[in-house]
Amino acid sequence: MQRIENHACFGGQQQVWQHASSTLDCTMKFAVYLPPQAERGPCPVLYWLSGLTCSEQNFIQKAGAQRYAAEHGLVLVAPDTSPRGDDVADDEGWDLGIGAGFYLDATRKPWAAHYRMHDYVVNELPALVDAHFPTTTARGISGHSMGGHGALVIALKHPGAYRSVSAFAPIVAPGRVPWGRKAFAAYLGEDEQAWQAWDATALIANARERLPLLVDQGGADEFLDSQLKPELLRAACEAAGHPLTLRLQPGYDHSYYFIASFIGEHLAHHARALKG
């Protein structure tokens, strides 16, 4: 690994690293915030998954999360949203290809050669983080929009791997909205039954762990009715008896202004679970 950024921040260090990913077959970047407590010993880790068009930079520059991570003693890890490079397949649309990995493992050409973000986030990235940084085995996961979809799906697919999960404006039912249908058809093919393995509302029905979900959604989000549809998540959780705290925040949109307004409450939620 190579460290390419290091900044003092709230008594800790905000870093960015790059490495050759064997899972994605390209060079990847990820951000790590090390709180001041990491100088004295291992700390729990919160993984953050960003949304469409984002990289590792959006969260670390706009969310204001480092202040709260320093308060609670949490390591923050924020990977890029997709593989990148000259050899990586891409699309002219902003909602498919580079910047739009959807945190799944693609099965169709040409995407399958590189687009394995689920495997990367679940396996390769934590192995690197645990090998190079002072971390405990306690992990949480969170994300925004496409990354909120990723956080929910990953937590549901891997019971016991994460102690906490939350999301901001997640795509909760990608198989039933335009963003998800476009990506799933490209990455996975036309068999909609195969899409269910990457759909939080479908996974909840048979979840083997009842990990409480914390979801914040902006009431003035321009994508609320067309792409996000949080009512589908509420219905799925009610039908399965799955614990959900779904908060509709009046006046807030889809931006990082929304995330920055409530990120402190989310980190407190994770800290209680990770340090309890």
Angstrom CA distances, 105 to 108, 169, 194, 220, 231, stand at 10, 22, 12, 32, 27
Please name which of 222, 214, 220 lies closest in space to residue 264, comparing C-alpha atoms.
214
- Please check whether residue 135 is in contact with residue 75, taking contact to mean a CB–CB distance below 8 angstroms: yes
CB atoms within 10 A of CB 251: 9
Active site residues: 145, 221, 254
Conformational region of residue 132, where left means phi above 0, alpha means psi within -120 to 50, and beta covers everything else? alpha
Distance in angstroms (rounded) separating the CA atoms of residues 22 and 56: 19
Please name which of 146, 170, 166, 144 lies closest in space to residue 155, comparing C-alpha atoms.
166
Please name which of 67, 75, 64 lies closest in space to residue 30, comparing C-alpha atoms.
75
Torsion from C-alpha of 121, 124, 127, 128, nearest 10 degrees: -100
Q: Report helix, strand or coil for 120.
A: helix
- Longest CA pairwise span in the chain (Å): 51
Write out the two tokens for 53. Answer: 């068009």
